Amino acid sequence: MMMSLQKNRIPVQITVIGIGNTLYSDEGVGIHVLPLLEERMQHYKNVEIIEGATDGMRLLGPVEDTDHLIILDAINGGEAPGTIYSVYDEAIPAFYGIKMSVHQVGFQEVLFASRIRERVPAHMAMFGVQPASLEFGIGLSETVSSTLDALVDRIEDQVRKWTVSDE
């Protein structure tokens, strides 16, 4: 009986949301990494990848409707440009994505809303890169661009851990 329950178990849902503004160089790292990630994640049937860009509160649904959440963004943690950050669960609001406008609703407000509504994913991870440039311009700096493969490796490692631990 236990065997049949295991086979019928629904796999855990993992949602990856890339956020950022591609008009300001490295601020768009969360978007620019998505094509590499989509290629790498093809064999994971339980992973949904969403281009969140600067969608703000429109991301509340995908955040609340997943078991595990990965957020990708530029993170200004004060380290050297190109530094890759990993922040987990409750520590995520301590590191903010870079706001390009005081009117922009940041992702921390989306997480705050999901907490108020008591619909927070079981586990969350935020991966980001310290920007080298936030100048107006399309495309990543060479420094941040050179981190994308390592960033994808880190994300895949997290997806693998969640997939294995929930089976």
Q: Which domains, ranges and CATH numbers included, belong to the chain?
A: 13-165 (3.40.50.1450)
Whole-prediction pTM: 0.84
Q: What integer pLDDT is reported at residue 139 of this predicted model?
A: 93
Picking from 33, 32, 24, 34, the residue whose alpha carbon sits closest to that of residue 101 is 24
Q: 3-state class of 84 per DSSP?
A: strand
Q: What integer pLDDT is reported at residue 105 of this predicted model?
A: 59
* pLDDT mean by block of 10 residues, the chain; 167 residues: 47 91 93 96 92 83 92 92 93 55 62 82 93 94 97 96 74
Q: What integer pLDDT is reported at residue 165 of this predicted model?
A: 62
Q: What integer pLDDT is reported at residue 134 of this predicted model?
A: 92
* Spatial separation of the C-alpha atoms in residues 17 and 166, rounded to whole Å: 20
Cα distances (angstroms) measured from residue 38 to each of 89, 114, 158: 23, 26, 15
Q: What integer pLDDT is reported at residue 113 of this predicted model?
A: 79
Q: What integer pLDDT is reported at residue 149 of this predicted model?
A: 97
CB 121 within 8 A of CB 65: no
Cα distances (angstroms) measured from residue 12 to each of 60, 160, 162: 19, 11, 8
